[in-house]
A = this chain, B = another copy of it.
Amino acid sequence: MPGAFHVVFALYPDVTQLDFTGPFEVFQRLPQARCTLASVSGGELRADGGMTFAHLVRLKDVGECALLCVPGGYGTVAALEDDEYLKQVHRLGSSARYVTSACTGSLLLAAAGLLRGRRAACHWAWRELLTHFDVRPDAARVVRDGTVITGGGVTAGIDMALAVTAEIAGVDYAQSVQLTLEYAPEPPYDCGRPELARPEILAAVKARLDSRGAARVAAVRRAAARLLTAEAT
């Protein structure tokens, strides 16, 4: 499609689907948008929770893109150790006009060497892990550092995508998309960030997430070490 604005979502098994389905619903409305779901092997992909996506293309078959979006999820741990995935994210991100992420997707951008020295958002429970990659964690819901625009946990991807839409297509256009999606959120509770949640709720969620914490820290450390080695050679 000549003149198309190519948006590529770089997916991996056990991704959190809302991390990219939210931004996709926004980005597909960009003028001339062409959205592609891609993964290392292409074909079908199972997200966390069991939803299966089909007809993905292979990342290595994607020539280039204008906007790269990397989602997060529990599968981030395995993706941090997937050299082919990180290589393709690095390749596409290096030439994209905009590099974006939601949730723990920023850890993957960092592991791919795309965030060195930058600020980035991440899911609150994993945000500090960005420091292993010489990336400054930022608690804002949407963080812009040049043309790298990252979102916080899961639902922050929608806010990130609307911010990016305004940058690409202007404020009026972004507002028309926001109105189309009736995005006037009314969260039932004021507890969506750790500093807002009641202590017992925060403790319960932390306890559940911490059960996976050690594996993630170990994977981040190994990925950071590999990145250092790669950059030194």
Contacts and interface: CB of A to CB of B under 8 A. Distances in A.
Given A54-B53, A171-B189, A185-B185, A176 B204 contact: yes
Given A175-B201, A205-B180, A154 B25 contact: yes
Given A176-B205, A179-B201, A187 B186 contact: no
A168 B174 CA distance: 36
Contacts of A185: 155, 158-159, 185, 187, 192
A51 interface: yes
A88 interface: no
Contacts of A163: 188
Contacts of A175: 189, 191, 197-198, 201
Contacts of A154: 25, 180-183
Contact of A49 (B35, B179, B193, B198): B35
Which of A162, A187, A194 has the largest number of chain B CB atoms within 10 A? A187
Interface string A49-75: 111111100000000000000000000
Nearest to A191: B175
Contact of A51 (B16, B50, B53, B198): B53
Interface string A177-221: 011111111111111111011101110110011000000000000
A159 B180 CA distance: 17
A172 interface: yes
A186 to B, nearest CB: 5
A188 B159 contact: yes
A119 interface: no
Given A21-B51, A182-B192, 5 more contacts: A17-B24, A21-B21, A141-B186, A152-B182, A155-B182
